[in-house]
Amino acid sequence: MSHASHHLTAIDTLGTDIRAEIDAVAAGLPATVSCVATGSLIEGFGNPNSDVDLFVIHEEGVPQQSIAIGMRAARYVDCEYMSRASLDSLAARMADGSWASLVPQARPDFDRYYRLCIGVPIRTTAATSDTLGRFDLDVARGNYAWWALARAFEHVARCAAALALGDRPRAGVILREGALYQASSTLAEEGEGYPGLKWLGEKAARRYGRGSAAFQQIVDDCYRPEGSLEDRLDRLRLRVDAPAALRAALKDRSCALDPETTVGLGHDSHVLVRRRKIAEAGPIAAGVCRQLATGESWAQAVDALAVELSLTKDEAAVAAWFYTADLRAEGFLTDDHRKAA
């Protein structure tokens, strides 16, 4: 049985109480609204307390609510509302599949795309059936594998930066999460693409068999890692084999100080001011902004950061981009027009 057909039959294995919950929600919907059952129960990872996940898809316009919830003794019902147009847009973004298009996307997009791929239609309109037909499970797995790899690479860079700054607790937290992303990427490449780091053990168990050598190898470094932070970072670096195209996509991003932004750097605080907004920058962002304020380009600022913290240029570029995200969002940093020119 293929993985896709497994999901279609999974609904038949659900308990009658769960099926009754699903049917009750679907029965209360207008005729123009579609309903899809999905989530860990459909994927086959469910347990006695797994929630019942339902997607309610509106044919036209924007739903007036985003979620609804229902409490039961053993589980809860989690209903998400969405428009068909938003799913068309999601399908188009995922179909692109390039690093440049995948890297900026957010985790919920991959989560929703995958869940729609495995979703079991309870009732659908013709138009929504057409839309759902554009959701491809192989695309979901492949895109998530790439995106999770990019996230793992980003965590390696952030961990290296934290270690260089002497912030070992931060480095430990980041490293643990990075290991989960790397393992999730590997599993997605091997067909276990259900997003969500919390399901790593179940995915590895289904793929390799719980307790097997391959299972232990992929799970242990995430949940019971051995060695110093430096040793663990080196191990993760070796496993995060970022392709040249990904490295290029990550390094190709750049921005500049907005002309109205002024940078004030003190001993303990680094403050940026723009119009009536003030932002305090952390050490990585401050280091980059300090260079940008002297008229250097983003690439030069990243190179200076790499030298200062003894990072590779790729890792410095990724860490710099991550830790300046808020400054870009608030307009302190803007598109690098000099580069575009």
Partner 1 sequence: MWSDIDDLMERLRTLRRTNTLQLEVMAQYFDFEGAMAAEQPELAWRAREGLLATGIELNLCAVRLAGPPLDDRAEQICALLQSLSQVSPALGATAADLLERPAPGALSAIGQDTAAVIAFVRDDLGVAGVDSRAQAMKAWADGVRHLRDLARVLGLAQADGWYLPADRPEGHLTWYDDVMNAIAQLHP
Q: Which stretch binds partner 1 (CB under 8 A): 67-75, 112-120, 248-256, 291-299?
A: 67-75
CA-CA distance, 134 to 87, in Å (whole number)?
Answer: 10
Instruction: Please tell me whether residue 70 binds partner 1 under the rule CB under 8 A.
Output: yes
CA angle 183, 148, 85 (to 5 degrees): 140
Nearer to partner 1 among residue 84 and residue 203 (C-beta): 203
Site string for partner 1, 196-235 (x = CB under 8 A): -xxxxxx----------------x--xxxx----------
Residue carrying the six token digits 């308990």: 15
Nearer to partner 1 among residue 5 and residue 47 (C-beta): 47
Instruction: Please tell me whether residue 25 binds partner 1 under the rule CB under 8 A.
Output: yes
Number of neighbouring beta carbons within 10 Å of residue 173: 15
Distance between alpha carbon 3 and the CA centroid of its chain, in Å?
Answer: 23
CA-CA distance, 206 to 192, in Å (whole number)?
Answer: 8
Interface residue with partner 1, options 158, 206, 232, 239 (CB under 8 A): 158
242-271: contacts with partner 1 (CB under 8 A): none
Instruction: Please tell me whether residue 72 binds partner 1 under the rule CB under 8 A.
Output: yes
Number of neighbouring beta carbons within 10 Å of residue 224: 8
Instruction: Please tell me whether residue 67 binds partner 1 under the rule CB under 8 A.
Output: yes
CB of 35 to partner 1, least distance (A): 12
Instruction: Please tell me whether residue 24 binds partner 1 under the rule CB under 8 A.
Output: yes
Instruction: Please tell me whether residue 106 binds partner 1 under the rule CB under 8 A.
Output: yes
Helices (H), the chain: 3-13, 16-27, 40-43, 84-96, 99-102, 107-118, 126-132, 137-164, 168-189, 200-208, 213-223, 229-239, 244-251, 283-293, 298-309, 313-323, 325-329, 337-340
Distance between alpha carbon 24 and the CA centroid of its chain, in Å?
Answer: 32
Instruction: Please tell me whether residue 121 binds partner 1 under the rule CB under 8 A.
Output: no
Interface residue with partner 1, options 3, 6, 8, 79 (CB under 8 A): 79
Instruction: Please tell me whether residue 190 binds partner 1 under the rule CB under 8 A.
Output: no
Residue 241 host element (H or E)? none
Interface residue with partner 1, options 1, 73, 340, 341 (CB under 8 A): 73
Instruction: Please tell me whether residue 170 binds partner 1 under the rule CB under 8 A.
Output: yes
Residue type, 53: D
| Residue 161 and residue 311 in contact, taking contact as beta carbons nearer than 8 Å | yes
Instruction: Please tell me whether residue 49 binds partner 1 under the rule CB under 8 A.
Output: yes
Binding residues for partner 1, total number by CB under 8 A: 45
Residues that bind partner 1 (CB under 8 A): 20, 24-25, 45-51, 64-65, 67-73, 75-77, 79, 106, 155, 158, 169-170, 172-174, 176-178, 197-202, 219, 222-225
